[in-house]
Structure formats: structure tokens, C-alpha cells
Amino acid sequence: MDTSANIARFYSVCRDVSTSVHSSTDVKEVLDLVVKLVTEAINAKGSLLRILNLETDKLELSAAYGLSERYLSKGHVSTHRVITELCMQNKVIIIEDVQADPRVQYPREAREEGIRMMLDAPLFLGDNVVGIVRIFFTEQRKFSDEELNFLVSIAEQCACAIDKARLIEKHKSMYDNLALQTEKLSALGRMAAGIAHEINNPLGGILLYSTNLFKKAPKEGPFRDGLEIIIQETMRCKTIIQDLLEFSREKEPEKTFANINNIIEKTLSMLENEFRLHHIRVEKLLSSEMPDILIDVNQMHQVFVNLLLNAVEAIQDQGTISIRSEIDPAQRCVRVETADTGRGIPPENISKVFEPFFTTKAKGTGLGLSVSYRIVWNHQGDIKVSSQPGQGARFTIEIPLLQNAPSKETKGQPHGTR
């Protein structure tokens, strides 16, 4: 066959492999196709593909074609010699004598299989070898530059498939962990709801009787002081129970078109006394072009209350809270950032702040941020946190921006900052 025919055939194989790599999510299917097409295109006896196991440092069989089960059953290939040489040469290696070459681990089995010659094509990702394609021939022969370049191209496509497989596996692992965590939270919510309801009734009775006794108690003395402590602690328990019920209640957002700036303004106004008592200065930069979006006003108000009260507690006394809203056309979302100059969050706690019941406060329930996270998630949004110890914390909320939201003109009311 002439050179032009070979090039056309090689090009066709490369195109088929490339299409398979980019269209299929089944990497095993892609690799099986590769070894079959390579064997047929280069008139070989067979070929196999081995991928480097990062944990065992072994080249493990991933696909094969044209070889007997007896030969393939010999197991892993040691990488000590093979990988070192592939890295050093960075090219297709021709093994002309399978009986004498030290790179062939099973020369007797190769002879029995009818193999007289091999080619090794390295699979590179960056500067690292992630596998090899080994091709087997029943007789000695010479190889043209077109054939060797073809093998290099196929090896590059295989490396892309392996990279894609590892990425898919990583995402699958993340999804499985998220699904498991979601199921745990769901079970925890149901359990919390049951416990909360069981405890709520006796707490109500304790509060009722202790309040009545408090009214009849002497004006001064340890009896009255003890009753006051009972009432305070009972009220604190009821607050915790209420938080548990809010956390466990699967309430769908009642969405209406509203302006998130107005919710922020309302929240800031409600917490004005808190800011004043703790000598906290509030800086706000709210976009004057903010459109109405589909949100549950009460739930988003609860989110901002949680974030701002957390910021107040982090600052304790004298500091600054900044709140900013903007539109991100590229991400098609509305973004709100709150930042404080408080003590910050230790690195080991960053990944835990949205977990239920996680808190560093002496009297906290650890449910405020969990509830906030779920509210934002139910709005198809996202909430993120970043912090450095001693340099405050920043929370970023992103809510999808709907293009068909009513405009300011049609709503007939002003938006933006006051």
C-alpha cells in the first residue's frame, strides 16, 4: 500500500478515536476501540493498553485485542524499568528481539504466543507517563515515519481519555460523597424534628409553672433568683428547639419577584441597634441597576440576618461590616457579599461552617449557617466563605438572574440604595 493510502487510513483511525474520546463517557469502550483500530491499521498481531496505577506504581491491563487469555493472565508489568526508559526517551520504543530484550518480562510466553517483535508507545500527561500502548508482531519488520507518528498521535488520544476518566471518577466520588451527606442530613433533620416535638411540650410546661411561681415569689432571695435562672435556661432551650424545627422543616421557597437590595436595606434597618451597641460601622455598596429576581423575601431576609449577626459576634466591639450587591452578567447571577473585620475563621473550620450543629460560640446552636445554606440552595444559588484568622470573614451569595424579571419601569418603584 502506498504512503498516501497509509496516511489516509491513519487519519481515519485518529479521527474515529478522537470522536470516541470526546463523545463517550465509557472510557473502557474508548480504550477497547483504540487497541482494535491500532492493531488493524498497522497490521499487527494484537495490542494492549496498560494504565499506571498511581497507588501501586504498576502498569495494569486496561484493554487488549488479538491476544490470548493465557498470555494476558500474566498480570501487572513492573514500572521500574519500563517507565524510566519511556520518560528518558519520550518516543516510541522498538523491541526487536523479544527473547533477549530485558524489557520483556515473559519472553517464553511471548514466543509461545507467536510474538517476535513489540512496539511501546508512551502515554503522556504533561511530563508524566500514565501508561503505554504495546503492539505485538509475529515477524520482524521496519516502520515508516508515518506509522510511528500515527502511534504517537494515538497515544496522545489515549492519554486524553485517561485524563477524562480520572476527572469523571473524581467528580463521581464528589457526587457520591455529596449524596451521602445529603442523606445523612435528611435523616438528621427527621430525627431532630421528632426530638424537638417531644421536648417542646414539657419545656412549655416548665416555662408556664416557673413563670407562675416567679410571680408569687418574694421580691428578693435565692428562691426568686433560682426561678429566674430556670426561666432563662428554659427560654434558651426553646430557642434551640425552634432552630431545630426550622432546620428540619422542608419548606419550599414562596418565590415572588422582589429586589434583593430592598431586603438588605430592611435587614440593616432592623439590626441598626445591634450595630450601634457594638460600635460597628456599616459600609454598603448596593448596585443601582439591580433588577427584580424570583426569591422568597422572608427566607432571604433570614439569611442576611444570620450572616450579619454572625459578623457582629465575630467583631464583638468596634469594627466594620461591609455589604455589597452587584450583577454578574457573565455568570447570569445576582451576587451579594458581606465582609467583617472580626477575628476570622481558622483554616481547619472553613469546610465545617455550613455543617449542622457546628459552632464555636458558647451559646450557639450551629444551625444558622446550615439553614442559610439550604435556603440559598433551594433558590438554585450558592453561598461561599473565605477567611483569614484575624482578618475577618467574607460570605458570598449568588442567586440566578432571571432575564424575564419585571423591569423597574414596569414595577413602578425605585430600586438601589437609599
Query: Residue 411's pLDDT is what?
Result: 41
Residue 41 Cα distances to 5, 12, 44, 80, 234, angstroms: 11, 10, 8, 30, 80
Query: Residue 360's pLDDT is what?
Result: 63
Query: Residue 53's pLDDT is what?
Result: 78
The CA-based dihedral angle spanning residues 329, 335, 341, 346, taken in that order and rounded to the nearest 10 degrees:
-100
**Domain containing residue 106: CATH number:** 3.30.450.40
User: Hey, CA dihedral for 62, 65, 66, 69, is it positive or negative?
Assistant: positive
Instruction: Count the domains in the chain.
Output: 3
Query: Residue 263's pLDDT is what?
Result: 94
Asked whether residue 131 is domain-assigned, the answer is yes
Same domain, 22 and 158: yes
| Average model confidence (pLDDT) across the chain | 79
More confident residue, 360 or 176: 176
Same domain, 204 and 316: no
Asked whether residue 417 is domain-assigned, the answer is no
Asked whether residue 418 is domain-assigned, the answer is no
Query: Residue 409's pLDDT is what?
Result: 41
State which of 231, 248, 265 marks the end of a domain: 248
Same domain, 135 and 180: no
Same domain, 204 and 191: yes
pLDDT tops 50 at residue 295? yes
Same domain, 19 and 159: yes
Tell me the chain's radius of gyration from C-alpha atoms: 33
Distance separating alpha carbons of residues 285 and 335, to the nearest angstrom: 12
Which range has the worst mean pLDDT, 144-148, 247-251, 333-337?
247-251
For 189-201, the pLDDT digits (tens) are 677 667 777 787 7
**Domain containing residue 198: CATH number:** 1.10.287
pLDDT > 90 fraction of the chain, expressed in percent and rounded:
12
For 62-96, the pLDDT digits (tens) are 888 888 888 887 766 655 555 556 555 557 888 88
Same domain, 291 and 345: yes
Are 50 and 59 contacting, i.e. CB atoms less than 8 angstroms apart? yes
Asked whether residue 388 is domain-assigned, the answer is yes
For 328-360, the pLDDT digits (tens) are 888 889 999 999 998 888 888 888 788 776 666
Distance separating alpha carbons of residues 106 and 192, to the nearest angstrom: 62
Mean pLDDT of 149-176: 76
Secondary structure (3-state) at 379: coil
Distance separating alpha carbons of residues 7 and 150, to the nearest angstrom: 9
Same domain, 306 and 353: yes
The CA-based dihedral angle spanning residues 122, 125, 126, 132, taken in that order and rounded to the nearest 10 degrees:
-10
DSSP string of 166-183, one letter each residue: HHHHHHHHHHHHHHHHHH
State which of 168, 183, 212 marks the end of a domain: 168
Same domain, 11 and 25: yes
Asked whether residue 163 is domain-assigned, the answer is yes
Are 366 and 350 contacting, i.e. CB atoms less than 8 angstroms apart? no
What pTM was estimated for this model as a whole? Answer: 0.44
State which of 189, 216, 248 marks the end of a domain: 248
Query: Residue 25's pLDDT is what?
Result: 63
Asked whether residue 208 is domain-assigned, the answer is yes
Same domain, 159 and 280: no
**Domain containing residue 271: CATH number:** 3.30.565.10
Asked whether residue 96 is domain-assigned, the answer is yes
> What's the domain range around 397?
256-411
Distance separating alpha carbons of residues 261 and 68, to the nearest angstrom: 70
pLDDT tops 70 at residue 167? yes
Query: Residue 406's pLDDT is what?
Result: 42
Which range has the worst mean pLDDT, 157-161, 204-208, 297-301?
157-161
For 282-291, the pLDDT digits (tens) are 999 999 989 9
Same domain, 15 and 161: yes
More confident residue, 162 or 136: 136
Asked whether residue 58 is domain-assigned, the answer is yes
Same domain, 16 and 134: yes
Query: Residue 336's pLDDT is what?
Result: 95
Query: Residue 396's pLDDT is what?
Result: 94
Same domain, 132 and 192: no
DSSP string of 107-130, one letter each residue: HHHHHHTT--EEEEEEEEETTEEE
Query: Residue 404's pLDDT is what?
Result: 40
Query: Residue 259's pLDDT is what?
Result: 93
